[in-house]
Structure 1
Amino acid sequence: MDYQINRFVIDVPNGDEKSSVDQLDMDFFLQCDYRKVILGTVRFPDGKPAPCSVVKLFKLKRATADPETTPDLEPIGHAIADENGQFLLGPVYPGDKLVLKVLYLDCFIKKSSTETVKTTREPEDYNFQE
């Protein structure tokens, strides 16, 4: 079962108010949560990680829309893959229809010892699932 922490409002006394304690002791209870997160790894076709990839997460605005062709996408969030190609996105809700788009960034390709070039290219039909 997954849990999340709820929002708690804490009133901290002003510094000029007299208080018998210098710390606030509190307990926080987690509530059941059915949301999920997406932890993934972006890889090149040869299996090597693709660092600095931009991963964008969209939700279909209409559940009946074709995820392959519809332009009706609501952006939910994005992440940049770390040096191992890993990223974390979410939370997402059960029943959501999602579309994930990946853009690979050549972070730092050295053309010479003094020049660094940044380029972008979108992969063709690579399958980035593990």
Structure 2
Amino acid sequence: MDYQINRFVIDVPEGDEKSSVDQLDMDFFLQRDYRKVILGTVRFPDGKPAPCAVVKFFKLKRATADPETTSDLEPIGNAITDENGQFLLGPVYPGDKLILKILYLDCFINKSSTETVKSTREPEDCDFEE
């Protein structure tokens, strides 16, 4: 059986001065939840994990639509795979029909963020006259 914590709104007391109540002690009770999460691994054809792949997931807008051909999809969420190619999506509801789209762009992964960009135009000389 799965459990979740519902959303809680906490009103933090205002005040600039230190008081005897500077710590809020609270208990949170889990509620039953029948939703699921998807834990997956994206791999290359040779079996190696694909880090930094983008995993987007969608739900069919109409339950009668063909999941193989329809473009009538509702975006639900996305994740990026970790260094082991793993991702976690959810929660999703039992009975939902989901479509995953996975994108891996090697050109973004192998480029260094410190790469120097060179201009194709030489700077013009500026003569300032006073």
TM-based fold match above 0.5: yes
Runs of 4+ in structure 1 over 4 Å off: 16-19
Alignment match, 1:93? 93
Distance 1:97 1:20, change over 3 A: same
Q: Which runs of 5+ in 1 are unaligned?
A: 116-130
1:16 deviates by 4.5
Alignment match, 1:60? 60
Cα displacement string for residues 85-126 of structure 1 (whole angstroms, at most 9, x for unaligned residues): 11111111011010011111213336xxx68xxxxxxxxxxx
TM-score, reference length from structure 1: 0.78
Alignment match, 1:120? none
Distance in 2 (CA, whole Å) between partners of 1:40 and 1:108 is: 20
Distance in 2 (CA, whole Å) between partners of 1:59 and 1:86 is: 21
Q: CA RMSD in A?
A: 2.2
- 8 Å CA contact retained: 2:52, 2:109: no
TM-score, reference length from structure 2: 0.78
Distance in 1 (CA, whole Å) between partners of 2:86 and 2:98 is: 19
Q: Which runs of 5+ in 2 are unaligned?
A: 117-130
Distance in 2 (CA, whole Å) between partners of 1:24 and 1:63 is: 46
Aligned residues: 113
Secondary structure of the equivalent of 1:91?
Answer: strand
Distance in 1 (CA, whole Å) between partners of 2:52 and 2:19 is: 50
Alignment match, 1:32? 32
Structure with higher Rg: it is 2
Alignment match, 2:127? none
Cα displacement string for residues 58-95 of structure 1 (whole angstroms, at most 9, x for unaligned residues): 00011111100011110111111111111111111011
The amino acid across from 2:109 in the alignment is F
Distance in 2 (CA, whole Å) between partners of 1:103 and 1:9 is: 37
Identity of aligned residues (%): 88
Alignment match, 1:118? none
Distance in 1 (CA, whole Å) between partners of 2:68 and 2:38 is: 20
